[in-house]
Amino acid sequence: MFDQLSGKMSGVLEGLSKNGKLTEGDVTEAMREVRLAMLEADVALPVVRDFVNKVRERSVGHEVLESVSPGQAVAKIVNDALIDALGGAGAVPLNLAAVPPVPVLMVGLQGSGKTTTSGKIALRLSQREGKKVLLASLDVYRPAAQLQLQQLAERVNAITKRVTALPIVAGQSPVEIAKRALDTGRREGYDVVILDTAGRLSIDEALMDEVRQIRAVTNPAETLLVVDAMTGQDAVNTAKSFNEAVGITGVVMSRMDGDARGGAALSMKAITGAPIKLTGSGEKLEALEEFHPERVAGRILGLGDVAGLVERAAETLDHEEGERVAKKMLAGKFDLDDYVSQINQINRMGSISGILGMLPGMGKIKDMLGDKEIDTSIFKRHKAIISSMTQQERKTPGIIKASRKKRIAAGSGTTVQEVNRLLKQFDDMSTMMKRISKMGLGGLMRGMSGAGGLADMMKGMGKPGGRPPFA
Ligand SMILES: Nc1nc2c(ncn2[C@@H]2O[C@H](COP(=O)(O)OP(=O)(O)O)[C@@H](O)[C@H]2O)c(=O)[nH]1
Ligand SMILES: [Mg+2]
């Protein structure tokens, strides 16, 4: 997700930062490239046009072009405009402020991921907020669909002990099931009732009618549309139709783990007015994330998503290890041993390409591997190289000079070039992390645009001996 766009956008901004001075012509040229990159990423045309105009307008003023580092000033404008397009700073949380049992209605086309997402949301609410959740399948067209939700509920319940599926009663209509779900929820003291509706292969009146009827009898606090990120513009058009026909309160974008180009995420808010609230990044129950526009913008511009990574690490690793890694990362102090520990945890944390995208400076390793299948053998080789180092070398890689490199390469069955590459990449990673840690986790969370955010970070990077921000 966003790989190609990210590569191009950071390339354009890097180009701008190289020049000390910028002319209006430079900005125009850069915006032409940004426009192409966004169109290639499948961003909707009106959104692209708006974005480019906005950035151009803000960039060609005197304050920007005559500033000390105009390239970085433009980069900040681009960052802000990306955050806007993605829905504005800060994740939009699920709204569960209603009298329990709070109904949450899941809608969308067939195969978009509604049932899976219902299970994921049940896990999240029961695990993090201690909510008691009832899952009800209103899909009466495919008998297997109700069983699918029942099995999901059992899997979630095995983890949190607070989730149940509404018993299946043959012959009931979706509206009848919805009423029964709310009655059961009330009687048995559930906090949330998730109503998983049937989809259709395409949008039709019958589907919309059914959703409208269910809405009318349940009055849901959230009507969440699940769309498949891989379908690009179609996802946006689907959302537009659903919003016009039945009204939605938020979008869940599934399959963010696929190689979608990212255009749907960038177009959703502008075209539909509905915020993306959650994203799905895999088939596992844990693969559900909040959507933080400022973090996504950071990833698109190659700044990495350290906040997201730290969060994910803290959730997935055992708690102590999570705290330890998070602290060291934020202190800009992690060493090669920590890198190995990261490698060891990567499988547990989810898709490798997802993690690589979150690590600042790791974009290059990803390019090296090509964008087909991420080949995990590189990590095995890195582990081999690091295991051939002494304790001291792992803590202070700076001491590894020519003769040590030869010894390490021989010991690990690799080459000096490979050792060099690992050290260089590790160095890139540490530099980037130190820089990001300067603004603090809080600053990062508040968004990369505010005071103490990207602007401050850029000041640091503009210092003599500093590196360009997007290198
Ligand atoms: N890779 C990936 N697969 C997903 C994701 N969400 C759902 N799926 C898969 O998509 C398929 C259809 O999902 P399902 O929940 O049954 O869709 P529904 O018809 O809308 O209820 C299933 O095989 C899911 O495992 C996701 O975020 N990533
Ligand atoms: Mg389903």
Nearest atom in ligand 1 to the alpha carbon of residue 110 is 19
Other beta carbons within 10 Å of 12? 22
**Residue 43 belongs to what domain range?**
3-86
Annotated binding-site members? 108-115, 196-200, 254-257
User: HSE of 235 in the Cβ direction (CA atoms, 13 Å)?
Assistant: 31
Considering every ligand atom shown, identify the ligand nearest to the alpha carbon of residue 137 and give its number.
2
pTM for the model: 0.70
CA 380, chain centre distance (Å)? 26
**Which pLDDT score, from 0 to 100, does residue 143 have?**
75
Q: For 41-69, what is the mean pLDDT?
A: 88
* Exposure class string for 154-192: b at 16+ Cβ within 10 A, else e: eebbeebebbbbbeeeeeeebeebbeebbebbeeeebbb
Nearest atom in ligand 1 to the alpha carbon of residue 116 is 15
214-261: pLDDT as tens digits = 999 999 999 999 999 999 889 999 999 999 989 999 999 999 988 677
Same domain, 355 and 438: yes
Q: Which of 292, 309, 326 is the last residue of a domain?
A: 309
**Which pLDDT score, from 0 to 100, does residue 152 have?**
97
**Which pLDDT score, from 0 to 100, does residue 76 have?**
84
Q: Which of 262, 286, 309 is the last residue of a domain?
A: 309
Same domain, 49 and 182: no
Say whether pLDDT at 36 is over 90.
yes
471 found inside a domain? no
**Which pLDDT score, from 0 to 100, does residue 460 have?**
35
CA-CA distance, 383 to 184, in Å (whole number)?
Answer: 54
Spell out which residues line ligand 1, taking CB within 6 angstroms: 108, 110-116, 199, 226, 254-255, 257, 280-283, 287
Q: Pairing mode, if any, of strands 133-137 and 102-107?
A: unpaired
Same domain, 112 and 254: yes
Q: Which of 277, 309, 341 is the last residue of a domain?
A: 309
85-112: pLDDT as tens digits = 999 988 999 999 999 999 999 999 999 9
8-20: pLDDT as tens digits = 888 888 888 776 7
Give residue 284 CA to ligand 1 midpoint distance, Å: 10
Per DSSP, the three-state class of 19 is coil
Q: How confident is the model at residue 360 (pLDDT cuts 50, 70, 90)?
A: low
Say whether pLDDT at 423 is over 80.
yes
Residue 307 near residue 360 (C-beta atoms within 8 A): no
The CATH number that applies at residue 446 is: 1.10.260.30
| Least confident window among 129-138, 425-434, 435-444 | 435-444
Q: For 146-170, what is the mean pLDDT?
A: 96
Say whether pLDDT at 348 is over 80.
no
Q: For 253-271, what is the mean pLDDT?
A: 88
194 found inside a domain? yes
Give residue 117 CA to ligand 1 midpoint distance, Å: 8
Token pair listed for 244: 């016009």
Nearest atom in ligand 1 to the alpha carbon of residue 196 is 21
299-308: pLDDT as tens digits = 888 765 555 6
Q: For 25-50, what is the mean pLDDT?
A: 93
Q: How confident is the model at residue 417 (pLDDT cuts 50, 70, 90)?
A: very high
CA-CA distance, 332 to 326, in Å (whole number)?
Answer: 10
Q: How far apart are the first and last CA of the chain?
A: 20
Same domain, 179 and 288: yes
Say whether pLDDT at 448 is over 60.
no
- Provide DSSP, 103-169: EEEEE-STTSSHHHHHHHHHHHHHHHS---EEEEE---S-HHHHHHHHHHHHHHHHHHS-EEEPPP-
Same domain, 150 and 207: yes
